[in-house]
Amino acid sequence: METILETRGLSKHFGGLQVINAVDFAMRKGEIHCLIGPNGAGKSTLFRLILGEHAPSSGSILYKGSDITALRSFERIKRGISTICGSPCSTMSDRESSRQRLTGFWPTSTSPPSGTLSRPASATDRSSGWRSAWPWP
Query: Phi-psi region for residue 104, left (φ > 0), alpha (ψ -120 to 50) or beta?
Result: left
Residue 55 CB partners (closer than 8 Å, separation 6+): 49
Is the separation of the CB atoms in 39 and 52 below 8 Å? no
Is the separation of the CB atoms in 115 and 134 below 8 Å? no
Say how far apart CA 35 and CA 38 lie, in whole Å: 10
List the pLDDT tens digit at each of the 137 positions of the chain: 889 999 999 999 999 999 999 999 999 988 888 888 898 899 999 999 999 999 999 999 999 999 999 999 999 999 988 876 654 545 556 666 666 666 655 555 555 555 444 444 444 444 444 444 444 33
| Domains of the chain by start residue, with CATH | 3-79 (3.40.50.300), 94-132 (no CATH)
